[in-house]
Amino acid sequence: MPKTDVWQGTLALMILKTLETVGLLHGYGIARRIEQTSGNRLGINYGTLYPALLKLEQEGYVTSAWGTSENGRRAKYYRLTLAGRRQVARESRAWDETTAILARFLAPREGS
Amino acid sequence: MRRLRAALVRLAALTRRRRLDQDLDDEIESHFQLHIDDNLRAGMAPDEARRGAILALGGVEGTKERYRERRGLPALEAFAADVHSAARSLRSAPGFTTGVVLMLGAGMAATVAAFSVVNATVFRPTLPGASDPETLVSVGVFKQTADSPYSRIDSTYDDFRALQNGMPALSSLSAYSHIRVAVSIDGVPLALNGALVSDNYFDVLGTAFTTGRGFSEDASSRGRSQVVISDRFWQRHLGGASAVGVEIFVNGASMLVVGVTAAAGRGPDVWIPFDVAHLALRDADGRPISLKAAPARYFTYQGRLASGATIELARAQASSVARAIESINPSAGRVSVGVDPLRTGRSAGGTAMEALSFLSVPLIVLAIACLNAASLLLARSTRRGREWALRLALGSPRHRLVRYVLIESVLLAVGASALALLLSTPILKIVQPYLPSSDLVVLDLRVVLFTAIATLLTALAFGLGPAVRAVSRVSTGGPTPSRLSNPSLSRTRLALVTVQVTMSLALLAVGWQFVNAVRASNAAIDFRDPERVLVASFDLDPLGLPAPAAEDLYRRLLERALLLPAVGAAALTNVPIDGAIPLQALVRVWPQDSSTAGERTILAAHVEGNAADALDLRLEDGRWFQPEDRTGIPRSVVVNRAMADREFGGVALGRTFEMATFDGRTRHPVTVIGVVASLGRTLRSAGPAMLLPSPLSYAPMRTLWLRPRSGRSVDAAALREAVRDIDPRLPIDRVTTAKELLAIYEPDHLGAITAVVTLGIVALLLSAAGLYGLLSYLVSMRTKEIGIRAALGAEPSAVMRLIVRQAATPVGIGLACGAGVAITTGIILRSLIYDTAPIDPVALAGASVVLVLVMGAAAATPARRASRIDPMIVLRED
């Protein structure tokens, strides 16, 4: 099955949501987790992940610190800040609304 | 908010790029390891695992680049890189950089210093410390004359009362008139700027006081005469001790200090109220006179609008006051009364013009410096054609190149303004003594900013033009631009050098002439041992003696003074040592004919005693007065060189002409018996003037000059004792030394002349630098051509001539134009400053010779360099 690219502007939300669920994770882990969550239907260009993480960090939604992975590798771990948690809630709500609206357009008309 | 935070984080990231790069490398490496581990676990071969990880990342360098772009501020980083590169490029051309920065810096420093002086002396608020300035108005009495539609005229106390009573729109109106006062504190006399003001003056302006207050409203209730002093005076002469209630002597009268005004820029040091005006005012015969009886004088009126009143209402009322003033003084003719918002921060038109003329010379130097800098920038940008082509070929966008050149120009301008700031402080220190105001001249931030922006604009204007042209001519990948000189560019540069030579010659010639004038005038003030000569002023007016008795008293004073053991020479004159020249010291003369057309008014000081020694006057021709000259009405006169030259074509001795008092009485013929070089500053006359053996009319004020014998000294105490011997009532107004006296009178235009000469020399050096730059540029442009000429057998001398010919055109045209400008300037300045010919041919010729010599020196090096070009080396190039 061909993998779908990540839609414009949704990568940040996916990262935030992943970190909200998992808590503490390194970049590679976040990417894999997103792929797994999508049931391997999404293909992430790992090269775009790091600038996205950097942007979230600059905006204060995530923080990072160096740590050690389960298999003994040194890795930079990210986690949500309080502002990040609020942002997840906000973005999720906005996304729900968008999809709901879009769904109304795409749903077969009642009574037709 | 989040965006701002992100921007700040990105800005901060610029400062620790290296560490963050390391961090990024580590993170990408860690990502690879984690991915490879995963791939290995999935059963891939090590090579395959690694390749898969790289593919998934989408290129390591690309990722890092995208990351870095997100991390910092790419536009800013590119800008910083340009600045860095421009700085490096300027560093690699130290001669060019130093030259441009020095030239621009010198021009800017002169301008900054001049602006600061103007700022401190002209544009300083005239009424610092006044409260609610917006309701303050200035009222003036004007008269329409043939010369100007409205000129402010003198007014009287009655006019002031009419103004006060006739304008209900003003809640109050005050009057102010400048006076010179002699203040004595503990017997130490000081000549100061003073003001005669109405009692309500300080209340109207709402002046702030350090201690005390203004004058009490009712003059009759005052026990003692009151005086207000300035904070500056208080600090300097009363040591800042408790001042209110202290007694000081103003023009010989004891007065009580009632207030000290808060620190404020320039202005008077002593204010006295109208009821003691007689201390400062004199009638035509030199007698004290009350303000009510005094003739019209220059008053400044300032008032406050009543609440609710508008300035238009005040103006409407002013016109009826004007009619009232006309009826008080019918001879004044038709007058008008103007009411204007008080301008507290701006000077009147006249002073603005002065400021502009004061500034013009530094601005010219700045212009020369800018032209020179532009010339060098032009050369540089043309020479760098190859560099632009290379940069364009490497994919640099054109606008980026233009920006890069602009950055270079800006860097140069910044360096120049830094230099100017460093230089202007010492310059201000040097010019400070020549300034009329004793206030500390401070560098003004506005001035610095203005100059920096001006230079910046110039740097941009001249850097941008050539940059755009050079860059647009360069085609990417095409052949390198022609190394041959660009004719239009050379023409511009030739014009620039021509303009500079013009300016240099004008400044040098005018400066040279000024120096001559100053030398002549210095000879005039060249006074032997001024610190040893004692000067005392007397005023017999309060004694109310009849003229013959007064003359007799003065004769005895002179005789008694000569008996003092230490005194070598003594002289009495009727020119007071401070204040304006009295009418008695002015006479009317008819040097050529007796018609009104031939009439002149000149200073005629009468001197008794040994004026030659005491006043250090030098006889050029003829003889001094003999005792027989001193009997009766003066029949013989000694004229100064200026009068001999102007009125008698240089030969004055033995000439007879008619003379009368200022008001036209006792007209009679006199004969010139002697000519002195100058009456100098001792008798305060740089222009035509003469000496009389006896008074033409009675003057109660006299000045005694005492020169001690060599090795002795006369002290004030001995003089006072001698004066008491003659008549204990005889008041000494002031005792001082000639040195102090001469120091009071500001050297005429000396500061401006020093500035013109200095700037002329600076301009000359700048022009030389400009010519040198132009020729060096031409030689480097024509290296190949010269090499071919040399290869074809041109002699080195012929090559040198070729280059010198290039210099001859701008220098020749510049000399011609410069002479024109110098003569024009001379004609304009003649009326303002020295009474000399429009331009002294010697000064003009001398300046031209100096200019040609310096220009020759500037041309020599590039010409020699050209003559030494080795054809073999040149032709082997390319």
Do B398 and B406 meet the contact criterion of CB atoms below 8 Å apart? no
pLDDT at B212: 85
pLDDT greater than 70 at residue B819: yes
Confidence of residue B61 (pLDDT cuts 50, 70, 90): confident
Spatial CB neighbours of B585, under 8 Å, sequence gap ≥ 6 = B574, B575, B603, B604, B605, B699
pLDDT tens digits, B676-717: 887 765 666 667 788 998 888 777 788 899 999 888 888 888
3-state secondary structure B563-579: HCCCEEEEEEECCCCCC
Q: Which residues pair with B587 in a beta bridge?
A: B602, B661
Please, what's the b/e burial string for B694-713 (b: 16 or more CB within 10 A of its CB; e: otherwise)?
Answer: bbbbbbbbbbbbbbbeeeee
Of A27, A48, A71, the CB nearest to B27: A27
Give all strands of the β-sheet with A62-68 in edge-to-edge order: A24-26, A74-80, A62-68
Q: CA B370, CA B375: separation in Å to the nearest integer?
A: 8
Contact residues on chain B for A26, CB-CB shorter than 8 A? 30-31, 34
User: Mutate which of B29, B36, B67, B73 to disrupt the A interface (most A C-beta within 10 Å)?
Assistant: B67
Of A32, A50, A57, the CB nearest to B63: A50
pLDDT at B670: 92
Contact residues on chain B for A28, CB-CB shorter than 8 A? 30-31, 34-35
pLDDT at B593: 65
Return the number of other C-beta atoms located less than 10 Å from residue B433's C-beta: 12
- Kindly tell me the sign of the dihedral angle through the C-alpha atoms of B86, B88, B89, B94: positive
User: Mutate which of B30, B35, B66 to disrupt the A interface (most A C-beta within 10 Å)?
Assistant: B30
Residue B665, both tokens: 């009485």
pLDDT at B488: 55
The ipTM of this complex is 0.89
Average pLDDT score, chain B = 78
Return the number of other C-beta atoms located less than 10 Å from residue B476's C-beta: 14
Q: CA B238, CA B185: separation in Å to the nearest integer?
A: 8
- The average pLDDT across B562-574 equals 88
Contact A29 B6 (CB under 8 A): no
Distances (CA, A) of B37 to A33, B32, B330, B396: 16, 8, 114, 43
Do B57 and B31 meet the contact criterion of CB atoms below 8 Å apart? yes
Contact residues on chain B for A36, CB-CB shorter than 8 A? none
Q: CA B633, CA B496: separation in Å to the nearest integer?
A: 65
Q: How many CB pairs under 8 A join A and B?
A: 73
User: Mutate which of A49, A73, A82, A86 to disrupt the B interface (most B C-beta within 10 Å)?
Assistant: A73
pLDDT tens digits, B336-356: 888 887 754 433 444 555 566
Contact A54 B70 (CB under 8 A): yes
Contact B31 A28 (CB under 8 A): yes
Nearest-Cα distance to chain A for B400, in Å, is 27
- The average pLDDT across B242-250 equals 82
Angle at B466 between CA B463 and CA B470, to 5 degrees: 130
Nearest-Cα distance to chain B for A86, in Å, is 13
> Tokens 């976040």 identify what position?
A30
pLDDT at B686: 63
Contact B70 A55 (CB under 8 A): yes
Of B27, B56, B70, the CB nearest to A76: B27
Q: CA B540, CA B289: separation in Å to the nearest integer?
A: 15
- The average pLDDT across B75-85 equals 85
Question: Considering only alpha carbons, which residue of chain B is nearest residue A56?
Answer: B6
Q: CA B676, CA B712: separation in Å to the nearest integer?
A: 27
Contact residues on chain A for B68, CB-CB shorter than 8 A? none
User: Mutate which of B17, B23, B31 to disrupt the A interface (most A C-beta within 10 Å)?
Assistant: B31
- CA-only gyration radius of chain B, Å: 38
pLDDT greater than 90 at residue A63: yes
- Kindly tell me the sign of the dihedral angle through the C-alpha atoms of B679, B682, B687, B689: negative
Burial of B436 (0-12, 13-18, 19+ CB in 10 A): exposed
Diameter of chain A by CA atoms?
61
Q: Which helix (H) or strand (E) holds B668?
A: strand B668-676
Of A51, A59, A66, the CB nearest to B66: A51
Contact residues on chain B for A66, CB-CB shorter than 8 A? 26
Burial of B473 (0-12, 13-18, 19+ CB in 10 A): middle
Confidence of residue A78 (pLDDT cuts 50, 70, 90): very high
Do B142 and B335 meet the contact criterion of CB atoms below 8 Å apart? yes
Greater pLDDT, B209 or B730: B209
Of A55, A58, A75, the CB nearest to B30: A75
Q: CA B349, CA B343: separation in Å to the nearest integer?
A: 12
Contact residues on chain B for A90, CB-CB shorter than 8 A? none
Nearest-Cα distance to chain B for A84, in Å, is 11
Closest CA to B511 of B750, B752, B748, B756: B756
pLDDT at B589: 86
Name the phi and psi angles at B569, rounded to 5.
-145, 145
Of B34, B57, B66, the CB nearest to A75: B34
Greater pLDDT, B615 or B467: B615
- The average pLDDT across B598-624 equals 84
pLDDT greater than 80 at residue B828: no
Torsion of CA A13, A18, A24, A30, to 10 degrees: -90
Nearest-Cα distance to chain A for B397, in Å, is 27
Contact B34 A47 (CB under 8 A): no
Contact residues on chain A for B6, CB-CB shorter than 8 A? 55, 58-59
pLDDT tens digits, B436-490: 444 455 666 777 777 777 777 767 766 776 667 666 665 544 444 444 445 555 6
Contact residues on chain B for A60, CB-CB shorter than 8 A? 2, 5
pLDDT tens digits, B306-337: 888 888 888 888 888 888 888 877 776 778 88
pLDDT tens digits, A9-52: 788 899 999 999 988 999 999 999 998 888 888 877 888 889 89
AA letter at A83: A
Return the number of other C-beta atoms located less than 10 Å from residue B330's C-beta: 7
Do B739 and B579 meet the contact criterion of CB atoms below 8 Å apart? no
Residue B175, both tokens: 């009057």
Do B647 and B593 meet the contact criterion of CB atoms below 8 Å apart? no
Distances (CA, A) of B146 to B143, B149, B600: 10, 7, 22
Nearest-Cα distance to chain B for A71, in Å, is 9
Helix residue ranges per DSSP H, A1-112 = 11-22, 27-37, 46-58, 82-106
* Lowest mean per-residue pLDDT among B152-156, B449-453, B540-544, B833-837: B833-837
Contact A28 B58 (CB under 8 A): no
Helix residue ranges per DSSP H, B256-348 = 311-328
- Kindly tell me the sign of the dihedral angle through the C-alpha atoms of B853, B854, B855, B856: positive
Residue B493, both tokens: 């540069």
Nearest-Cα distance to chain B for A58, in Å, is 5
pLDDT at A16: 92
Q: CA B562, CA B710: separation in Å to the nearest integer?
A: 15
3-state secondary structure B739-769: HHHHHHCCCCCHHHHHHHHHHHHHHHHHHHH
Nearest-Cα distance to chain B for A96, in Å, is 23
Spatial CB neighbours of B212, under 8 Å, sequence gap ≥ 6 = B228, B243, B244, B257, B258, B259, B260
- The average pLDDT across A42-66 equals 88
pLDDT at B641: 85
Contact B38 A58 (CB under 8 A): no
Q: What percent of chain B has pLDDT over 70?
A: 79
Helix (H, G, I), strand (E, B) or coil at B438: coil
pLDDT at A15: 92
Q: What percent of chain B has pLDDT over 90?
A: 3
Q: CA B780, CA B866: separation in Å to the nearest integer?
A: 8
- The average pLDDT across B207-234 equals 80
Which residues on chain B place their C-beta less than 8 Å from a C-beta of chain A?
Answer: 2-3, 5-6, 9-10, 23-24, 26-28, 30-31, 33-35, 37-38, 56-59, 62-63, 66-67, 69-71
Q: CA B699, CA B528: separation in Å to the nearest integer?
A: 28
Q: CA B454, CA B460: separation in Å to the nearest integer?
A: 10
Greater pLDDT, B107 or B598: B107
> Tokens 């860059």 identify what position?
B471
pLDDT at B191: 63
Greater pLDDT, B5 or B349: B5
Q: Which residues pair with B669 in a beta bridge?
A: B658
AA letter at B279: L
User: Mutate which of A6, A11, A28 to disrupt the B interface (most B C-beta within 10 Å)?
Assistant: A28
Q: What percent of chain A has pLDDT over 70?
A: 89
Of A50, A58, A60, the CB nearest to B10: A58
Contact A50 B28 (CB under 8 A): yes
Closest CA to B224 of B179, B272, B192, B260: B272
Contact B27 A50 (CB under 8 A): yes
pLDDT tens digits, B764-807: 877 787 787 777 777 777 777 888 888 888 888 888 888 888 88
Of A47, A54, A59, the CB nearest to B58: A47
Helix (H, G, I), strand (E, B) or coil at B306: coil
- CA-only gyration radius of chain A, Å: 16
Of A45, A50, A59, the CB nearest to B67: A50
pLDDT greater than 60 at residue B580: no
Question: Considering only alpha carbons, which residue of chain B is nearest residue A70?
Answer: B34
pLDDT at B578: 58
